[in-house]
């Protein structure tokens, strides 16, 4: 939907270790300063830009210090920022300085025009839901996390198959012997799940995908379930490797045989901001090399 909200204080997060991202962030700082817009740097970003002397906030505190977060980097940078600020309800805008960039959809050469549009209220916004993960052992939670893209169970550094059972809303679905399982949101359907043979899901869908990773059977296929489902994975007792559970590939918990992994939809949603011309299908055509119109 078209929004007319104006932003006054912008939090900036830059991809670490990337000279191009740092250069783009410097350009963005100068541009925002020229517009008399307040700027707060995420602490790690500020450490790489000490010459500016701009107020900074830790990643966990960034959401309460600004009313918009701009991430300069790739989708991975945006995923980390999203998990940190989602509870504050702060919207996120992405500037692509990564690779594929399904979430960071502003190119560096259009920063000034696109950011000006956003700051004056001319943008599209949409809500994306996250997944909440908890690892239970003997009835106690021993770890957890949240994910905008996906929760993945896998064997860790060992190249071994793992065994687990899958339950949805307390109904047994199947047992599986495989390299793991990708539990994906519609947002994550263009990421690891796509590489694993899962279907693309439109971001507006209230659905979750279960995508097996190299299952030891030809009949195991990805399935789509309702977004409000309660997903429970029981780690098999015969596993010789201790399966890992990762959230967005950035945080992980190591499980033991007999542990339960519970995945549900997170109550708080992320607000993602796009330029007015944003089109999910056009993004797919451009990023995935789909065919264009047969006749122009």
Catalytic status, residue 105: no
Q: Who contacts 50 (Cβ-Cβ below 8 Å, separation ≥6)?
A: none
Q: Who contacts 21 (Cβ-Cβ below 8 Å, separation ≥6)?
A: 14, 15, 72, 73, 77, 97
**pLDDT band at 5; cut points 50, 70, 90:** low
- Among 100, 76, 113, 89, smallest CA distance to 247 is for 76
**Strand (E) or helix (H) holding 194:** helix 192-195
- State residue 218's pLDDT score: 84
Binding site for NAD(+), by residue number, is: 75-76, 149-150, 160, 177, 179, 190-195, 250
DSSP track, 134-156:
EEEETTEEEEEEEESSEEEEE-T
Q: Who contacts 198 (Cβ-Cβ below 8 Å, separation ≥6)?
A: 182, 184, 189, 209, 211, 222
Answer for the pair 68, 93: CB distance below 8 angstroms, yes or no.
Answer: yes
- State residue 3's pLDDT score: 54
Q: What are phi and psi of 218, to 5 degrees?
A: -80, -15
- State residue 255's pLDDT score: 96
Q: What is the mean pLDDT of residues 68-83?
A: 95
- State residue 294's pLDDT score: 84
**Per-residue model confidence as pLDDT tens digits over 223-265:** 999 999 999 999 999 887 789 999 999 999 999 999 999 999 9
* The three-state (H, E, C) secondary structure of 223-270, written as one string: EEEECCCCEEEEECCCCCCCCEEEECCCEEEECCCCCEEEEEEEEEEE
**Per-residue model confidence as pLDDT tens digits over 78-115:** 999 999 999 999 999 999 987 767 888 888 889 999 99
Computed over its alpha carbons, how large is the radius of gyration of the chain?
Answer: 20
Residue showing tokens 């000034």? 112
Instruction: Evaluate if residue 2 carries a pLDDT over 60.
Output: no
Listed range (41-55, 57-71, 100-114, 229-243) with the worst mean pLDDT: 100-114
**pLDDT band at 1; cut points 50, 70, 90:** very low
Distance CA 49, CA 34 (A): 18
Q: Which residues pair with 183 in a beta bridge?
A: 151, 210
Structure tokens at 15: 């991809």
Q: What is the mean pLDDT of residues 276-290?
A: 91
Percentage of residues in the chain with pLDDT exceeding 90?
A: 75
Give how far Cα 243 sits from Cα of 3, 67, 164, 195, Å. Answer: 44, 39, 10, 20
Q: Which of 44, 75, 87, 248 is catalytic?
A: 75
Distance CA 208, CA 228 (A): 8
Task: Sketch out the chain's domains with CATH numbers.
Answer: 2-122+276-288 (3.40.50.10330), 130-267 (2.60.200.30)
Average pLDDT, the chain: 92
Q: Using alpha carbons only, what angle is made at residue 12 by residues 6 and 13, rounded to the nearest 5 degrees?
A: 140
**Per-residue model confidence as pLDDT tens digits over 28-39:** 999 999 988 999
Q: What are phi and psi of 46, to 5 degrees?
A: -60, -35
Q: What is the mean pLDDT of residues 35-53?
A: 92
């Amino acid at each position: 939907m078209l929004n007319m909200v104006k932003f006054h204080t912008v939090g900036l997060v830059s991809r670490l270790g990337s000279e191009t991202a740092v250069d783009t962030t410097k350009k963005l700082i100068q541009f925002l300063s020229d517009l008399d817009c307040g700027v707060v740097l995420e602490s790690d970003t500020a450490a790489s830009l000490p010459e500016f002397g701009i107020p900074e906030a830790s990643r966990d505190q960034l959401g309460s210090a600004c009313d918009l977060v701009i991430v300069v980097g790739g989708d991975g940078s945006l995923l980390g920022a999203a998990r940190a600020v989602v509870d504050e309800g702060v919207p996120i805008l992405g500037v692509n300085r990564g690779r594929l960039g399904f979430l960071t959809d502003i190119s560096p050469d259009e920063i000034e025009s696109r950011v000006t549009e956003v700051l004056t209220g001319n943008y599209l916004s949409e809500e994306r839901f996250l997944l909440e993960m908890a690892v239970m052992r003997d009835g106690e939670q021993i770890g957890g996390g949240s994910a905008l893209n996906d929760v993945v169970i896998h064997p860790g550094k060992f190249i071994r198959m793992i065994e687990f059972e899958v339950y949805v809303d307390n109904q047994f679905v199947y047992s599986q012997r495989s390299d793991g399982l990708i539990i994906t949101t519609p947002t994550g359907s263009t990421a690891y799940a796509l590489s694993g043979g899962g279907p693309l899901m439109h971001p507006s869908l209230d659905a979750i995908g279960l995508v097996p990773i190299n299952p030891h059977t030809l009949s195991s296929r990805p399935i789509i379930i309702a977004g409000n489902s309660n997903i429970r994975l029981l780690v098999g007792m015969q596993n010789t490797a201790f399966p890992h559970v990762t959230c967005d590939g950035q945080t992980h918990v190591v499980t033991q045989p007999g542990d339960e992994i519970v995945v549900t939809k997170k109550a708080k949603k992320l607000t993602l901001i796009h330029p007015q011309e944003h089109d999910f299908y056009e993004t797919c055509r451009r990023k995935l090399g789909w065919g264009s119109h047969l006749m122009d």
